[in-house]
Every structure is written in structure tokens, then in C-alpha cells.
Amino acid sequence: MRYSGFKVIKEALTGHKGWTPAWRDPEPQSHYDIVIIGGGGHGLATAHYLAKVYGEKKIAVLEKGWIGGGNVGRNTTIVRSNYLLDGNEPFYEMSLKLWEGLEQDLNYNAMISQRGIMNLIHSDAQRDAFVRRGNAMMLNGADAEYLDLDQIKKEYPFLNFDDARFPIKGGLAQRRGGTVRHDAVAWGYARSADSHGVDIIQNCEVTGFRIENGKCLGVETSRGYIGASKVGCAVAGSSGRLMAKANMRLPIESHVLQAFVSEGLKPVLPGVITFGAGHFYVSQSDKGGLVFGGDLDGYNSYAQRGNLPVVEDVCEGGMAIMPMIGRARLLRMWGGIMDMSMDGSPIIDQTHIDGLYFNGGWCYGGFKATPASGMVFAHLLAKDEPHETATAYRFDRFKTGHMIDEKGMGNQPNLH
């Protein structure tokens, strides 16, 4: 069923009796051409592009809980492509372009709002670094704009300009960045993939891989064995746990990242703002809540909840740039588990096991990458070669020294 304004009016006049479920609830078949483990944003996007762009048939997405119940439902919904390095920027810019056309592609309202993102600058050295980043973005076809202090005062008059310790000197803006309704991304991809024949199988946990003579033949699940010519893993957050079942160690640690939402307020924030002297970012949802977050808790965790020292640190960051945030009451806070890779960049590659493919290591930047991640992972699964924007996301880059370390932190995952 196609959604449209006409359809909404027709259903409103006829008692909403014509709506049907957005996707089927099929029983798993005994064999698929391609099985994708993980019914989150990346897994569902992969299935959508495999079916729609690459014309693959017989695809299944296996999800241990319900679709969209993992990190795609737990993030701060920001999309942007303000990266510096060649290995990253073309990929993230492709992602932003896919976001811009996503709703038409999926026939689904994902509430994509290009309200802009602005990174604050607090020192001369930081200005140099950000201007360089802006130039790198423009070289890769993205938009970037340097804002001087007067422009920022005009656009964001509520910021703390008089802070003696961290004075605001300027900002780097990407006007095409913004926010997206995160759950709708999972639902939109699921609905579209389903309409192209993909089986989305929920409550189906993968308990092991069947691997013989170095080839992956299929997966053992809580709903029985499912054979597959190719298996793609897209379970960021749980990559360590899943790949251990294939006896693989990864250049990844799992860490917890907290996020926060305030009570609903009238519109106060025009776009996404990030603090350049600490780690704090904030936007306002369409419901009015201020959505914000900061650093990782910093220790390995699969617990999906964090501790109070980071809550204090994040709130201090908010108070430092935007003192009015102190008047808002906190409504909710939660934690999500991040695949923190050794260089802060993702891995999308074949494994050493024939027929087993891996997509993970998204650190805390996975949401904005959802469409591009799906596209390039679909490309890899369909053609057995990397997409041109994802050639750097290899497993062996740590061995060969081709790390993609945006922050220059080295192999210390909790600092990326």
C-alpha cells in the first residue's frame, strides 16, 4: 500500500478501516540467498538496498527482539557529514545525500529536518582545525560555512558568550545537517524491504554459525537452523558477542553512551549545536524536548545504562555553553552500547570465513551513516567487492597501518 495525502484523507473519511500492517510476520524458510543478522537501521537498510537497488531475491533479516529496538531507537537522531579524512567524508556525504531523498525512496515520512548543525569554536587553534575540516568537506562536495562571532550572536543569541574560560570565537556550520525521526527510519526501511519480498523475522536470536571447511553455511537460531549462501552481520553494539560465536576477535570494545531528553519546551533551539571545548551536543526534538549527550562512560559495558559522573559532566557541558538549559527539567536518560573501534571508524568487510560479512564498529556515529551503511553493505554482499566510498573500511587496516583516525587518539577506543 502506498501512503499519500489522498490516502490519509480517504481513510479519515471511511473510519480508518483500510490500513494494513506495514510489514508481514513470516515464518523463517530453510534457506535464503542472503541472511542479515540484526534488524536495526543498518540491517534493514541493507535489506532494502539489496532488494531494490541490487535486485537480490530471497533475503531475510533476523532480529533477536523487535526491529528498531536497539541503537536506532536509542540515539540522538543527528545527521551530518562534517568529517575530515578521505576514508570517511565521501561515505558520509553519500549518506547525507541518501537522507535527503530517503522519504521519496521509502514512501515513508521519516521527519527529516535539515535544520543545520553548528560546531562552536573556542580558540584560534580550533578555528584553524575547523576551517581545514570545512575545506575538506567542500572538496568532497559537502557544504560547510564558517560563522564569525557576530553571525553566531545573531542566530544563537542564547549562548554563553561571556564565558571567561571557553569564549565563543566562531563556528563551523553545515546547513544540510539536521535531525531525523529515528524510529521512522527503521520502520520505513522495514516496510520498504518487506514490500520488495524481504522476510523480516523478529524474535529470532542467532545462537551460532554453521561453519565447515572455512565456509559459513548458515546460522543456528532460536527458531531453528537457517541456511544461507551469504550471511551479513549488522549488530553494532553486540558485534563482540555475535562474532565470538564464529571464534572471531575484533578490533572493537563495547562501551556505554548515555543520552538525555528534557521536558518539552517551546521552540528554543534552531538547530543542532555542539560545544567545542568539552563534549556536549544538543538539539530540540519536534515534540519540544532538548535532546543532548556527551562523552562515553569510558569503560567496557554491555549494560545499556551508565553512571552518574558522566551525567554530571554532560550537564556541566550544557551549562557552560547554554545556561538556560539549567531551567529545564530532565525527563529521561538512557544508555546504549557502542562498538568502539580502535581508530574510531567503522568496518565493512568480508571476514576470513567464506560467506560471512561484517558491518560494525560504528562508535557513536552509526545513526547518520544508516543509509550509506546499508547501501555499501548491500554492494559488498551482492558483488563481493567494496563500494567505492567504503574501500577504506577494511579489517586489515590495523595491520597495514591505514587507520582512519579522525580524532588522532590512537588505539584507545574510549577516547574516540
Partner 1 sequence: MIINHPLLGPRDSAEFVYLGDASLIERPDPAAETALADFVDYAYMRENPAGSLRELWFHEAGDRSWLVVTRNTMTHEISDVQMARDVARKIGCSK
Please give the sequence-ordered ranges of beta strands (E in DSSP) within 67-122, or none if there are none.
78-79, 117-121
Which residues 83-112 are close enough to bind partner 1 by CB under 8 A? Answer: none
Binding test (CB under 8 A) with partner 1, winner from 107, 113, 126, 300:
300
**Residue number with CB closer to partner 1 (171 or 240):** 240
User: Which residues lie below 8 Å from residue 108, measured CB to CB, with a gap of 6+?
Assistant: 3, 184, 187, 188, 191, 192
Question: What are the DSSP calls for 135-185, one per residue?
Answer: HHHHHTT---EEEEHHHHHHH-TTS-TT-SSS---EEEEETT-EE--HHHH
**Residue number with CB closer to partner 1 (40 or 361):** 361
What are the beta bridge partners of residue 147?
Answer: 171
Q: How far is the CB of 258 from partner 1 (least distance, A)?
A: 13
Query: How many positions of this chain bind partner 1 (CB under 8 A)?
Result: 25
Binding test (CB under 8 A) with partner 1, winner from 93, 253, 295, 349:
253
**Residue number with CB closer to partner 1 (90 or 251):** 251
Binding test (CB under 8 A) with partner 1, winner from 102, 199, 413, 416:
413
Site membership for partner 1, residue 406 (CB under 8 A): no
Q: Would you call 299 helix, strand, or coil by DSSP?
A: strand
Q: How far is the CB of 230 from partner 1 (least distance, A)?
A: 25
Site membership for partner 1, residue 240 (CB under 8 A): yes
Q: Would you call 357 helix, strand, or coil by DSSP?
A: strand
- CA-wise closest residue to 208 among 222, 191, 193: 222
Site membership for partner 1, residue 307 (CB under 8 A): yes
Binding test (CB under 8 A) with partner 1, winner from 244, 383, 384, 388:
244
Site membership for partner 1, residue 35 (CB under 8 A): no
- CA-wise closest residue to 39 among 176, 147, 198, 150: 198
Pairing verdict, β 330-341 and 252-264: antiparallel
Q: How far is the CB of 339 from partner 1 (least distance, A)?
A: 9
Q: How far is the CB of 255 from partner 1 (least distance, A)?
A: 10
Distance from first CA to last CA of the chain, Å, rounded? 43
User: Which residues lie below 8 Å from residue 323, measured CB to CB, with a gap of 6+?
Assistant: 160
Site membership for partner 1, residue 361 (CB under 8 A): no
250-287 in b/e burial notation, b at 16+ Cβ within 10 A? bbbbbbbbbbbbbeebeeebebbbbbbbbebbbbbbee
Site membership for partner 1, residue 299 (CB under 8 A): yes
Q: Cα dihedral angle (225, 229, 235, 239), rounded to 10 degrees?
A: 90
Site membership for partner 1, residue 375 (CB under 8 A): no
Rounded CA gap, 307 and 74, in Å? Answer: 17
CB 145 within 8 A of CB 134: yes
**Residue number with CB closer to partner 1 (160 or 414):** 414
Binding test (CB under 8 A) with partner 1, winner from 174, 195, 262, 301:
301
Binding test (CB under 8 A) with partner 1, winner from 54, 146, 225, 398:
398
**Residue number with CB closer to partner 1 (54 or 398):** 398
Q: Which position has the grid cell 560545544?
A: 275
- CA-wise closest residue to 265 among 279, 234, 286, 248: 286
**Residue number with CB closer to partner 1 (161 or 299):** 299
Binding test (CB under 8 A) with partner 1, winner from 76, 221, 254, 285:
254
Which residues 311-350 are close enough to bind partner 1 by CB under 8 A? Answer: 342
Contact residues: partner 1, CB under 8 A: 238, 240-241, 244, 249-254, 298-303, 307, 309, 342, 398-399, 411-414
